[in-house]
């Protein structure tokens, strides 16, 4: 027997041991929770207070109930003729009655659509299954290395890894967006016979679904539910210079001074890892960085921000290690000691185990920020690179972690989000009026509201990798993170003397200038094993020969001209949730080809960018979405939308088109394109 218990904003459904709740959660949106016996009082997901919206209409009958909430209708049906009946949900668009998503049983007998396998701890392995539609297209789910934009047919691990950012939000061309609001370790299968979400250990099933009228509006509802990104600070839209490691203050300043001497724009320069005395101390090593205040001051005079790399690792040789350990500020272990990575840090003759601080603990967040304030913030540093924040485990067993928020198996997904929260809260509590940019290697749903930007991790320096970055960045944008970048040129490898690699570097720069953040980084040849002694090969814009330098320096100037346009797009992103770098379908949802285009993207509404990602390629086809006309930025030729054109791509440019009537400064005062 099923019973229905309506209230002003929610419907509770009870059947046997299960409680199922449907709650209005923003316009055209609902939150669904299901658990055995009771809904947990605490949630570590991304949903806080429901956004305002009109009250839903709830109707209840004997074996049927419905909730109508704007253009989303959720029905609950209980089929008594089934061998083991259970209440099943169907989501439809109110205005058209079109089915968006519907639960389906894993088996006609048992189990059902919502499965709870107990593990004798009070938690469960949970499954949530929906009916599949073979022609459905699915996008989002964070940033992955599979090289696909459309996720249909893929199975994806819900685990944070270097280069694999798990944000469990998916947007469907059927007209809905769904957030799997569980940070538990798990898996999702977008198969042709079913869509199934799985968590290995969880207390409940928890997801949010919206049926906003357009893909762009879906992202707006998602931002309303999980948090809007702050606006991009003015300094962050320019060029960021980095290499594997500038070993000391003199090296770093010499690069900044050379940019000034050459008349090259520079907004950010990075002091990467091992600039510290020990992991967890969060201060400069005076032997290599004797006067960091003078360094910060000189960079400020040059108009350059200093960004420092901060890892969440704590060395047993750190000054305050005992405090971290004894106050319970470190990530624990379900089995074994509290060390989860090995690295050769300062004062180590060989790689040694290091621990991770626990950002899910509010006391940890306060304590680490105090260390950061004393070591960096008091110098005027306000840009932080949160590296290895998945966290990067060795061995990669996140289920073995124990955190303040709960067992790693249940909550490990939120580690990078709460790590960003640590720095955002610290800056805000110190009265910093302007939000910072937190360059993170990982994120989870809601991280955007803390100013988290993401880069695509330690990727190889190959053409295949460049191809993958285009789709990876677009899916991350659909997942709610508007600020994204790559290591231009790739991270692992690349010889600045090699003509073949120089071509790749040029093409990557031409892609990177149209990414939300514009950043050069990498571990170039000659490479050495990871330790405090490494530096990496040259990786400045003048390192790649005269031809590459001429092209790249022009791209730096192009970026300067684009910055006002970029900030307009970032204001839109902060207000509406619409990312500046985005798939064509977000602006042209009525064009079927726009949903299938995965090798080009929009940069704001006025620019269509078609990267070149193959060696030796000097032309490529570009699809121009229907609904407007497009002007080739290089030739001035105007083309009708809904057509495919063959665009020239000589080594000094990639195809870029402007929307007819748009005014974007792609050329310099002489009328020459970069």
Average pLDDT, the chain: 97
Helix 463-478 and helix 499-512: axis angle, to 10°?
10
From CA 51, how far away is CA 336, in angstroms rounded? 43
Catalytic residue among 28, 86, 224, 387: 387
For residue 64, give both structure tokens.
């049927």
Q: 458 catalytic, yes or no? A: yes
Q: Is 330 helix (H, G, I), strand (E, B) or coil?
A: strand
pLDDT digits (tens, 9 = 90+) for 321-349: 999 999 999 999 999 999 999 999 999 99
> pTM (2 decimals)?
0.97
Catalytic residue among 86, 150, 358, 390: 390
322: left (phi over 0), alpha (psi -120 to 50) or beta: alpha
pLDDT digits (tens, 9 = 90+) for 181-234: 999 999 999 999 999 999 999 999 999 999 999 999 999 999 999 999 999 899
Q: Tell whether the torsion through CA atoms of 45, 49, 51 and 57 is positive or negative.
A: positive
From CA 339, how far away is CA 354, in angstroms rounded? 5
Catalytic residue among 18, 248, 458, 598: 458
| 9 pLDDT above the threshold of 90 | yes
From CA 222, how far away is CA 51, in angstroms rounded? 10
Instruction: State residue 434's pLDDT score.
Output: 81
Cβ within 8 Å of residue 471, ≥6 positions away? 147, 148, 149, 598
Question: What average pLDDT score do residues 626-645 get?
Answer: 97
Q: First and final CA of the chain: distance in angstroms?
A: 70
pLDDT digits (tens, 9 = 90+) for 28-53: 999 999 999 999 999 999 999 999 99
Cβ within 8 Å of residue 278, ≥6 positions away? 315, 317, 318, 319, 345, 346, 347
Question: What average pLDDT score do residues 592-621 get?
Answer: 98
Q: Which of 350, 358, 353, 332 is nearest to 341 (CA)?
A: 353
Question: What average pLDDT score do residues 552-570 get?
Answer: 98
Could you tell me if 122 and 406 are in contact, meaning their C-beta atoms sit under 8 angstroms apart?
Answer: no
| 248 pLDDT above the threshold of 70 | yes
Q: 390 catalytic, yes or no? A: yes
Instruction: State residue 432's pLDDT score.
Output: 85
């Amino acid at each position: 027997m099923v019973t229905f218990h309506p209230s002003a904003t929610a419907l509770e459904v009870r059947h046997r041991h299960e409680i199922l709740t449907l709650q209005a959660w923003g316009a055209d949106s609902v939150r669904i929770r299901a658990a055995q016996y009771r809904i947990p009082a605490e949630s570590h997901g991304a949903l806080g207070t429901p956004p305002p919206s009109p009250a839903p209409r709830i109707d209840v009958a004997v074996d049927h109930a419905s909730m109508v909430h704007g253009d989303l209708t959720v029905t609950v049906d209980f089929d008594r003729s089934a061998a083991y009946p259970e209440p099943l949900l169907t989501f439809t668009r109110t205005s058209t009655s079109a089915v968006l998503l519907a639960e389906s049983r894993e088996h006609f007998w048992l189990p059902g659509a919502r499965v709870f396998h107990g593990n004798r701890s009070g938690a469960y392995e949970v499954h949530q299954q929906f009916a599949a539609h073979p022609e459905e297209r699915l996008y989002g789910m964070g940033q992955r290395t599979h090289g696909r934009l459309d996720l249909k047919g893929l199975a994806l691990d819900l685990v944070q890894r270097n280069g694999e950012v798990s944000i469990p939000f998916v947007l469907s061309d059927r007209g809905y967006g769904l957030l799997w609001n569980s940070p538990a370790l798990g898996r999702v299968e977008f198969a042709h016979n079913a869509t199934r979400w799985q968590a290995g250990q969880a207390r409940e099933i928890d997801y949010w679904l919206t049926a906003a009228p357009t893909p762009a509006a879906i992202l707006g509802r998602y931002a309303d539910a999980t948090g809007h990104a702050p606006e991009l600070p003015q300094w962050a839209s320019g060029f960021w210079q980095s290499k594997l490691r500038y070993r000391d203050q003199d090296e770093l300043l010499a690069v900044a001074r050379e940019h000034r001497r050459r008349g090259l724009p520079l907004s950010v320069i990075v002091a990467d890892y091992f600039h510290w005395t020990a992991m967890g101390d969060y201060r400069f090593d005076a032997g290599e960085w004797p006067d960091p205040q003078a360094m910060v001051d000189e960079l400020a005079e040059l108009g350059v921000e200093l960004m420092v790399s901060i890892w969440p690792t704590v060395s047993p040789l750190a000054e305050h290690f005992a405090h971290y350990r004894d106050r319970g500020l470190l990530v624990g272990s379900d089995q074994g000691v509290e060390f989860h990575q090995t690295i050769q840090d300062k004062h180590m003759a060989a790689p040694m185990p290091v621990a991770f601080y626990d950002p899910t603990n509010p006391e940890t967040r306060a304590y680490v920020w105090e260390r950061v304030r004393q070591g960096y913030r008091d110098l005027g540093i306000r840009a932080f690179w949160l590296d290895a924040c998945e966290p990067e485990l060795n061995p990669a067993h996140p289920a073995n972690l124990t955190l303040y928020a709960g067992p790693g198996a249940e909550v490990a997904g939120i580690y990078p989000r709460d790590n960003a929260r640590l720095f955002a809260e610290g800056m805000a509590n110190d009265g910093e009026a302007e939000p910072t940019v937190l360059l993170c290697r990982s994120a989870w749903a809601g991280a955007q509201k803390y100013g988290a930007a993401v880069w695509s991790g330690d990727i190889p320096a190959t053409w295949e990798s460049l191809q993958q970055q285009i789709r990876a960045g677009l899916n991350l944008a659909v997942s709610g993170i508007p600020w994204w970048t790559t290591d231009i040129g790739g991270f692992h490898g690349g010889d600045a003397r090699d003509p073949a690699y120089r071509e790749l570097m040029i093409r990557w720069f031409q892609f990177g200038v149209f990414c939300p953040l514009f950043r050069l980084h990498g571990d170039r040849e000659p490479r050495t094993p990871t330790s405090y002694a490494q530096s990496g090969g040259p990786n400045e814009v003048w390192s790649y020969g005269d031809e590459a330098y001429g092209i790249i320096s022009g791209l730096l100037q192009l970026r300067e001209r684009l910055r006002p346009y970029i900030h307009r797009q970032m204001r839109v992103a902060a207000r509406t949730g619409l990312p500046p770098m985005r798939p064509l379908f977000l602006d042209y949802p009525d064009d079927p080809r726009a949903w299938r285009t995965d090798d080009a993207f929009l940069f704001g509404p006025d620019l269509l960018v078609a990267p070149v990602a193959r060696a030796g390629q000097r032309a490529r086809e570009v699809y121009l979405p229907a609904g407007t006309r497009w002007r080739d930025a290089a030739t001035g030729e105007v083309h009708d939308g809904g057509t495919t054109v063959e665009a020239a791509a000589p080594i000094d440019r990639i195809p870029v088109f402007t929307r007819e009537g748009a005014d974007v400064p792609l050329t310099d005062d002489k009328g020459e394109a970069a």
